[in-house]
């Protein structure tokens, strides 16, 4: 959806968008690299890295720098949701989401729904893999979104 998000935001002035983010290095170690293959060059990922993991992290960082910029350009319309936060403080997250949606009465229902989400077994998979040497810019992008590495 992030590919067409600028067009959706322009066409639908009341649209609010929740963008789920997962640790970029976790994504690099996923076997599903379809987004990188389809959209990598279109979104500024001109990484000359030979290593597919580094290319994947670079794509993730380019994409998420773009999402942060879109969020800045459209205040109050884009919520960047770290996947990991679904398994941390569900009550706080439910409250934040209901406020973002301007529907505080949904907080209890959201908390119940969040409690039913199963934690993916691959969450944190990067911790079991060889440590990648990341550029300072990509490391800063990860950190700006609440992720540490390694």
For the chain (length 150 residues), average pLDDT per consecutive 10?
94 97 93 79 63 87 95 97 94 97 96 96 94 93 94
Supply the pLDDT for residue 37.
76
Q: Are 95 and 107 in contact (CB under 8 A)?
A: yes
- Residue 58 DSSP SS3: helix
Q: What is the pLDDT of residue 100?
A: 98
| Helix intervals (H) in the chain | 5-11, 24-28, 34-39, 52-73, 90-100, 107-115, 136-144
| Residues with Cβ within 8 Å of residue 78, at least 6 apart in sequence | 5, 16, 17, 18, 19, 67, 70, 71
Within its chain, how far is the Cα of 24 from the centroid?
8
Task: Please name every residue paired with 20 in a beta bridge, in sequence order, or none if there are none.
Answer: 81
* Residue 47: predicted pLDDT: 57
């Amino acid at each position: 959806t992030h590919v067409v998000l600028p067009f959706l935001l322009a066409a639908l002035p009341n649209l609010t968008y929740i963008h789920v983010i997962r640790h970029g290095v976790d994504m690099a170690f996923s076997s599903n690299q379809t987004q990188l293959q389809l959209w990598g060059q279109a979104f500024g990922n001109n990484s000359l890295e030979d290593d597919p993991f580094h290319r994947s992290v670079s794509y993730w960082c380019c994409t998420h720098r773009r999402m942060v910029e879109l969020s800045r350009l459209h205040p109050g319309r884009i919520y960047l949701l770290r996947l990991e936060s679904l398994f941390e403080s569900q009550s706080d997250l439910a409250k934040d989401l209901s406020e973002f949606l301007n529907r505080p009465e949904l907080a209890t229902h959201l908390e119940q729904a969040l409690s039913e989400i199963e934690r993916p077994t691959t969450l944190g998979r990067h911790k079991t893999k060889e440590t990648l040497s990341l550029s300072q810019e990509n490391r800063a992008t990860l950190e700006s979104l609440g992720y540490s590495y390694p």
